[in-house]
């Protein structure tokens, strides 16, 4: 999406980036946890370099 988390996560897991993006959007609208998880993964991405 904005911070590159989905592309980074798809590279790490070997999944399709579109699938991960859809999962985040569904997580935001249905569970409300998608945005928080996205920000946590962004921090992990930054500090794992």
pLDDT score, position 33: 77
**Residue numbers of the chain with a pLDDT score lower than 70:** 1
- Between vectors from CA 24 to CA 20 and to CA 17, what angle results, nearest 5°? 20
Domain boundaries, the chain: 5-47
pTM to 2 decimal places: 0.74
Token representation of residue 6: 């989905």
Size of the chain in residues: 49
pLDDT score, position 1: 60
């Amino acid at each position: 999406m904005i911070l590159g988390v989905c592309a980074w996560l798809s590279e790490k897991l070997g999944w399709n980036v579109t699938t991960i993006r859809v999962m985040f959007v569904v997580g935001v609208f249905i569970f409300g946890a998608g945005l928080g998880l996205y920000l946590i993964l962004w921090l992990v991405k930054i500090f794992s370099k």
